[in-house]
Amino acid sequence: MSTSYNLSRRTLLKSLPAGLLLPSLGRVVSADGQNEIQPKRVAAVVTHYTHNSHADVILTKILEGWKHDGGPGPKLELVSMYLDQFPDGDMARPMSKKHGVPIFDTIPDALTLGTNDMAVDGVISIGEHGDYPWNEKGQHLYPRYRFFSEIADTFEQCGRVVPVFNDKHLSTVWIEALLMYQRAKRLGIPLMAGSSIPVSYRKPAVSLPMGSDIEAIVGIGYSGLDVYGFHALEFLQCFAERRHGAEVGVEWVDCLQGYDIWKAVDDGTVSKDLLDAALKVVPKPDGRDLRSLEGDDVALILFQYRDGVLGALFMLAGYAQGNAVAVKVKGQSSIVATHAEERPEPRYPHFAFLTKGIEQMMLWGKPVYPVERTLLTGGILDRALTTRFKGTGRIDTPKLAIKYNPVDYPYAQEMDLLDDELFRPRS
């Protein structure tokens, strides 16, 4: 790959003073505000960077502010990029030229700035969008596993790790996601991943107390099972993980389609009251017969947590126009239900709140919410797509016995983008 803005190791060493190649670790700042918090230097490893791509709505916030208008933005400095593809409408090259951010030909060079040492404080890996194949299960095979493998290889070669944020699933293929998670644990890499939907605006603005006694939970999603089913599962899980006893993992997964979807509602397997509550808050067209929906992306993903709670996600492509969740809490007569808004302006703000979490991980060196959530949701989705493809029905999932302690993490209405110490460790 070669462009006028790409820099090889040799070119960079010749063109920049040696001092600029050293890691800028930033200052650890006391909570009393005596010293200004210095931005952390990050590298971006990206499939492609076009208008409204995930790279745009994350990286442009670093380069040009939360609203992409030159105003305040995250305390991060983008110092290098690796691009896997340069499609028509590429923004990477013009943004590289505008902001003086070099594009490297390899991932190791992006992390070391062409030296033999780690030269960044964190890595943002965005494996979303681009020309990549699909497998027989309907999974889009983005190169997230390859990206992470090369990032981790570079850490090992340099003898130093830094925090890594992985956009969306760890990998669309769950066994690769598991290998990524295990390697991060083995090397001590602070790793965070996931969707922007859990931190988006909610309508109504509601959550659940930690330790809630959840009896059942229903989610609604839209569009493709792989690409948007993940977002819907992440939104459902950010409520489900707040139940009493913390997260204990999933015992089995099933994927129903056609008549079987509505049979599960009519026979009481899934609460009709919860489904109706979720439907009430999600945007949808008027006059459309819900039960007449057809297509490969219309499905009910059923899964049972290991503590007995049943999760149900209705993927209603062609009907639902967003993500919603409804929860029944023991002892409460009313159902908690809300819709995750995906506002387009200013510049898809749910990605600003996602980027805030990335910023805070990079500033303080530890994830602000557990990556195990995304390992679990990716596993549920992979098992659902597997049973749909193979037609085997319910799949037992012993490898999804994933336990973790959730955190009381805020969403858009609860978060201040200008608070640099929002998630500073207090101990």
Give me the domains of the chain, ranges plus CATH numbers: 6-194 (3.40.50.720), 199-341 (3.30.360)
Rounded alpha-carbon distances, angstroms, from residue 108 to 82, 98, 104, 150, 153: 9, 23, 9, 7, 8
How far is residue 71's CA from residue 231's CA, in Å, rounded to a whole number? 29
How far is residue 208's CA from residue 246's CA, in Å, rounded to a whole number? 13
Count of CA atoms in the C-beta half-sphere (13 A) of 400: 26
Whole-prediction pTM: 0.92
CA terminus-to-terminus distance, the chain: 46
Q: Please state, as a whole number, how many other Cβ atoms lie within 10 Å of the Cβ of residue 51.
A: 11
Q: What is the pLDDT along the chain (427 residues), one digit of tens a residue?
A: 333 334 443 344 333 333 332 223 344 454 555 578 999 999 999 999 999 999 999 999 999 999 999 999 999 999 999 999 999 999 999 999 999 999 999 999 999 999 999 999 999 999 999 999 999 999 999 999 999 999 999 999 999 999 999 999 999 999 999 999 999 999 999 999 999 999 999 999 999 999 999 999 999 999 999 999 999 999 999 999 999 999 999 999 999 999 999 999 999 999 999 999 999 999 999 888 999 999 999 999 999 999 999 999 999 999 999 999 999 999 999 999 999 999 999 999 999 999 999 999 999 999 999 999 999 999 999 999 999 999 999 999 999 999 999 999 999 999 999 999 988 876 5
- Output DSSP code: residue 19: G
Q: Please state, as a whole number, how many other Cβ atoms lie within 10 Å of the Cβ of residue 204.
A: 10
